[in-house]
Structure 1
Amino acid sequence: MNDDLEPEMDLAEQIFVLLREQPEGCSEYQLIQQLKARHSTHIPNLPLLDKLVLFRTHFLVFNALYQLRDQLWGESLYSLQISPLNVQLQPYVPGASGVAENDPLRDYYLDMSNLRDTDEQEVERLLASFWSRMRGDHLSERNETWDPEQKRAALELFELDQEASSLSLHTIKRRYRQLVSIHHPDRGGSTTRLQSINLAMEILQRYYR
């Protein structure tokens, strides 16, 4: 599973390889991490803490997913479920709904001008949405089942190594205070970025309390 992806493959082909290896599906975040781990050159090999890196990575992956969905459906091979929380190959069923003719999300991600033209405010909303999903807002109030990917994503935002022996709640809180100081709106930072930092801290407190 550690082999590099073939560099001559486009991003849709590389994603297809990864999805075939995990029929149970995976989240968008997991898919991005797998692409990075297997040295895909089609997405930025940079931490997702920068809002523009996050947006570009997310857009490129979803552009490739919608291309792949169209191709697989056209060849009667698979149906492809696409959502931030679950990307999964599913059996092709003739006569099923297939690829919707009027799909605003598909239209958005297949239009590469949106990658160039999306303004900073929209990128900020994406960032807030991403960390909200990582926090687990999709879970019910009484569901305390937290996925390890939330922990990995939060530590990446904090630029902390989850394998470090010195990692503790004390270290995390110290880094949290540093990030709050840097990104506080009173110091020219972003309210949305500060919200993301707070959400990541909430995740980490649950793991290191």
Structure 2
Amino acid sequence: MNDDLDPSQDLADQVLQLLQAAPDGLAEYALIQQLKSRHSGHLPNLPLTDKLVLFRTHFLLFNALYRLRDRLWQEQTYLLEISPLCIRLQPYQHGSSALSERDELRDYYLDLSQLQDTDECDVERLLTSFWTRMQGGDEKQAALELFELHHEQALDLPRIKQRYRQMVSVHHPDRGGSTERLQSINLAMEILGRYYH
């Protein structure tokens, strides 16, 4: 059986296909890996260790997710939950105001000029508060420091997820935080998800 995705499909349709096969949802990193392993063709076929590649891959995926969320909402088929920890299809419910509020993250990811106009220097600036904490190229340590968890002994994924949710609630643009800071938090969670299972 050929597991490759249909190359003529839009990335949003490919994502929908993978999410329909994963009722418990997928973390961002797992979704990216599945898209790459099934030869999506829409994401850069390059290692995620390069910051600009990581940014572009993340941006393209989240652009597709927000487009898909809007479409599924209009079709009244699903609600799409979007978070680096869990991207999941939920049953559509009438009367939900989930999409009626202004969503600065949605606006950011649907603006393709953000992708086209962002170069390596911009990515560096976007993630400065995060990457400057890197010492000796240790991404795990940098992510733990961003989450202020580097001194905790008994660290596991539930504790990291709890801290992630706390930080998102504090730094979300809707609550006065910045998109850049939230992206750093999302990236840190994506990195820590590779180390803690």
Which TM class, normalised by the smaller chain length?
0.5 to 0.7
Matches of 1:145 and 1:96, distance apart in 2 = 34
Tell me, yes or no, if the aligned pair for 2:81 and 2:87 is still in contact at 8 Å.
yes
CA deviation after TM superposition for structure 1 residue 100, in Å: 3.3
Matching residue of 1:43: 43
Change (3 A) 1:87 1:74: same
CA RMSD of aligned residues (A): 3.4
Change (3 A) 1:133 1:12: farther
Query: CA deviation digits over 1:156-187, x for unaligned, max 9?
Result: xxxxxxxxxxxxxxxxxxxxxxxxxxxxxxxx
Whose Rg is larger? 1
Query: CA deviation digits over 1:75-97, x for unaligned, max 9?
Result: 00000011111111111110011
Matches of 2:31 and 2:144, distance apart in 1 = 14
1:43 alignment partner AA: L
Identity between Structure 1 and Structure 2 (%):
56
Tell me, yes or no, if the aligned pair for 1:36 and 1:45 is still in contact at 8 Å.
yes
Change (3 A) 1:66 1:139: farther
Tell me, yes or no, if the aligned pair for 1:136 and 1:146 is still in contact at 8 Å.
no
Matching residue of 1:145: 156
- Point out where structure 1 has 5 or more consecutive residues left out of the alignment: 148-195
Does 1:109 pair with 2:109? yes
Matches of 1:42 and 1:35, distance apart in 2 = 9
Query: CA deviation digits over 1:142-167, x for unaligned, max 9?
Result: 653349xxxxxxxxxxxxxxxxxxxx
Runs of 4+ in 1 over 2 A off after TM superposition: 118-122, 124-147
TM-score under structure 1 length normalisation: 0.63
Query: CA deviation digits over 1:39-89, x for unaligned, max 9?
Result: 000001111011110111010000000000000000000000111111111
Change (3 A) 1:135 1:10: farther
Tell me, yes or no, if the aligned pair for 2:79 and 2:91 is still in contact at 8 Å.
yes
Tell me, yes or no, if the aligned pair for 1:27 and 1:85 is still in contact at 8 Å.
yes
Tell me, yes or no, if the aligned pair for 2:52 and 2:119 is still in contact at 8 Å.
no
Matches of 1:44 and 1:17, distance apart in 2 = 20
Change (3 A) 1:112 1:134: farther
2:75 alignment partner AA: E
Tell me, yes or no, if the aligned pair for 2:12 and 2:67 is still in contact at 8 Å.
yes
1:23 alignment partner AA: P
Matching residue of 1:57: 57
Matching residue of 1:85: 85
TM-score under structure 2 length normalisation: 0.66
Matching residue of 1:68: 68
Change (3 A) 1:89 1:46: same
Does 1:118 pair with 2:108? no
- Point out where structure 2 has 5 or more consecutive residues left out of the alignment: 132-138, 159-186
Tell me, yes or no, if the aligned pair for 2:24 and 2:88 is still in contact at 8 Å.
yes
What is the aligned length?
A: 153
